[in-house]
Amino acid sequence: MDFDHYYSNIDIFDLKTPFFKIMNTQLALKDIVKAKSRIDGVINETPVITSSLLNAWLGHTIYFKAEGFQKIGAFKARGASNTIAWLIENDLTPKHIVANSSGNHAQAVAWAAKRFNIPATIYMPAYASKVKIQATKAYGAEVILCQTRQEADALVKQTSEEKSIYWIPPYNHEQVICGQGTAAFEAIKAIGSVEAVFAPCGGGGLLSGSLIAAKGLSKTTQVIGAEPLMGNDAAESLRKNTIQHLTEAPKTLADGAMTLAVGDITFEYLKQLDGFYEITEEAIIYWTQWLTHLLKLRIEPTSALSMEAAFQWLQKQQQKQTVVIILSGANIDQETTKKIWENDCLTTEPYKR
């Protein structure tokens, strides 16, 4: 398939190279810096915000990197645009770009392809929300609706066997990872230094990129992940030291973390995390409401994962900490919003929980 053709390190993984060899090619801060300069002026340098009330309540300083203000409303724009810019930089500009996704990655690839004037086709399962299908079309991509996710996956693979067509996968790709890592990089640069970085885990792209950026800037910075307890394949994979696959999409409200399995590339980075939390749906609802209320932003439930992880981690700390939470994005449909706001969590302040 053509994806291999363009992919610099694919041989290593095709040959099932042992871990030490992967370590040799491990991405480093310089790769994040390159990605950052590649996408400067293409993506938004999103604001870092804080809530003095929340800080006072919790006794720590929490910064939020608001990726809801990113192009397409989620961090995914970083990885997609970095990958295309990197292809162009290496004289590998494809004639056509394809992707398969039911969510933010679909929109990110549609937007980035248009930004670089390359036609794009996105294979989406028909069950994807109307709003997301609509947005993907609005960014100018051709959308092909498939009966199932499996059909979308098969079609994108088949299509990308054509040499001139490039498939941008959602997370298991070094340039996607480096792009996503620019969010943590920008945030830490803006803040100065932090004791810990928190990010949610779907396929592990954002978390891998955050790890490379944060550890590259300071080895003592902890990088901590979070995923829904209802879809805890990454936690299980880390416990068993081998990638675990869910058999069907978990029914979590955190739809950005529904991925069935992490990738072989991202898994190697996830193993290096300082902590990993499995978050209940109750906590996802609680923090989606509270972060919306305190920060005055549209907050997608996936963003609440890292807040609950930070909340639990901060409670164990003896000294005042400064941390950054990557808010993944702000794309939610009406149905999910309705579920989030069914009951009132705002009557119980975080310090009373």
Asked if 126 interacts with a second copy (CB under 8 A), we say: no
Interface residue with a second copy, options 101, 172, 289, 306 (CB under 8 A): 289
Give the residue among 249, 248, 183, 197 at the shortest CA–CA distance from 226.
197
Question: Which residue out of 51, 81, 102, 237 is catalytically annotated?
Answer: 102
337 near a second copy (CB under 8 A): yes
* Rounded Cα gap, residues 269 and 267, in angstroms: 5
Total of residues contacting a second copy (CB under 8 A): 29
Would you call 102 a catalytic residue per the annotation? yes
Site for a second copy in 202-261 (CB under 8 A): none
Ranges within 138-157 binding a second copy (CB under 8 A):
138
Q: What is the 3-state secondary structure (H, E, C) of 254-285?
A: CHHHCCCCCCHHHHHHHCCCCEEEEECHHHHH
Which candidate, 85, 77, 84, 115, places its Cα nearest to that of 98? Answer: 84
Q: Which of 68, 181, 250, 256 binds a second copy (CB under 8 A)?
A: 68
How far apart CA 67 and CA 119 sit, in angstroms, is: 25
CA distance 22 to 53: 44
41 is catalytic: no
Binding test (CB under 8 A) with a second copy, winner from 45, 142, 162, 333: 333
| Closest approach of a second copy to the CB of residue 284, in Å | 16
Q: Are 61 and 194 in contact (CB under 8 A)?
A: no
Task: Quote the CA–CA distance of 30 and 335 in Å, as a whole number.
Answer: 42
Nearest to 330 by CA among 291, 277, 273, 282: 291
Question: Which residue from 28, 131, 164, 220 is in contact with a second copy, where contact means CB under 8 A?
Answer: 131
State which residue, 94 or 301, has the beta carbon closest to a second copy.
301
89-97, 184-192, 253-261, 338-346 -> range binding a second copy (CB under 8 A) = 338-346
Instruction: Say how far apart CA 70 and CA 47 lie, in whole Å.
Output: 9
Task: Return the active site residues.
Answer: 76, 102, 227, 231, 233, 328
Residues that bind a second copy (CB under 8 A): 53, 68-69, 73, 130-131, 134, 138, 289, 292-293, 295-298, 330, 333-335, 337-338, 341-347, 349
